[in-house]
Amino acid sequence: DVVMTQSPLSLPVTLGQPASISCRSSQSLVHGDGNTYLNWFQQRPGQSPRRLIYKVSNRDSGVPDRFSGSGSGTDFTLKISRVEAEDVGVYYCMQGIHWPWTFGQGTKVEIK
Amino acid sequence: QVHLVESGGGMVQPGGSLRLSCAASGFTFNTYAMHWVRQAPGKGLEWVAFTRYDGSNKYYADSVKGRFTISRDNSKNTLYLQMNSLRAEDTAVYYCAKDASHSLDYWGQGTLVTVSS
């Protein structure tokens, strides 16, 4: 199985400051069609997961532009340019190219 | 808008069975693949199962293979997860999620399954 490794697992951030989460995959996530299928999800406390980013860097409708995704191959990053209170929660990366699909362990973002 | 509503969760003894349902609306159900994903209490997300839009192709996590069966009834816009030989480690919130070409774009609110004697 493809192992998705996130770091850090806990991320205390000051409001208004940037935050960055790393996700590394044990195999390339580049599909034969040329796309890279790496997704980012946000799970706020007590809520279902919500997709933020797909295909590395494409933001979902309604996702604030302070969220951005980048990376290639096996190394990916989710950045929040200025953390707001509503960003508290757990963030997961997920690969959708190799069966079984796999998630990272999750990164808990909290306000300092 | 897309709406996914899971049901069927509850408490069951080890070795028992349960069938989860996911009622879908707001999109053309019979043209989309669907998934089940679970989350044990206080833990991360684990992908469980996939079915193609027509049910012709299915994949499972090794942890549930041979015990769980994913199926769908396109005439009822409903996804199912039949869970047999349940174990304590199957205790989790089970989410259904809509496929979006190598991604999951919509999730339900989840249904809790507790396996305990």
Q: How confident is the model at residue A18 (pLDDT cuts 50, 70, 90)?
A: very high
Nearest CB among A54, A102, A104 relative to B103 is that of: A54
Residues contacting A36, CB < 8 A, separation 6+:
A29, A30, A55, A56, A71, A72, A73
Please judge whether B102 and A35 are an interchain contact, meaning their C-beta atoms are less than 8 angstroms apart. yes
Please judge whether A49 and B62 are an interchain contact, meaning their C-beta atoms are less than 8 angstroms apart. no
Provide the CB-side half-sphere exposure for A102 (13 A, CA): 19
pLDDT (tens digit per residue) in B33-76: 999 999 999 999 999 999 999 999 999 999 999 999 999 999 99
Query: In chain A, where do the E strands start and end?
Result: 4-7, 10-13, 19-25, 38-43, 50-54, 58-59, 67-72, 75-80, 89-95, 102-103, 107-111
Interface of chain A toward chain B, CB-CB under 8 angstroms: 1, 31, 35, 37, 39, 41, 43, 48-51, 54-55, 60, 90, 92, 94, 96-97, 99-106
How far apart, in whole angstroms, are the C-alpha atoms of residue B60 and residue B36? 9
User: What count of other Cβ atoms lies within 10 Å of the Cβ of residue A59?
Assistant: 16
Interface of chain B toward chain A, CB-CB under 8 angstroms: 35, 37, 44-47, 50, 59-62, 95, 100, 102-105, 107-110
pLDDT (tens digit per residue) in A29-84: 999 999 999 999 999 999 999 999 999 999 999 999 999 999 999 999 999 999 99
Q: What is the pLDDT of residue B32?
A: 98
Nearest CB among B47, B50, B104 relative to A51 is that of: B104
pLDDT (tens digit per residue) in A89-107: 999 999 999 999 999 999 9
Q: Which residues are B112's β-sheet partners?
A: B93
Closest residue in A to B93 (Cα) is A48
User: What count of other Cβ atoms lies within 10 Å of the Cβ of residue B89?
Assistant: 10
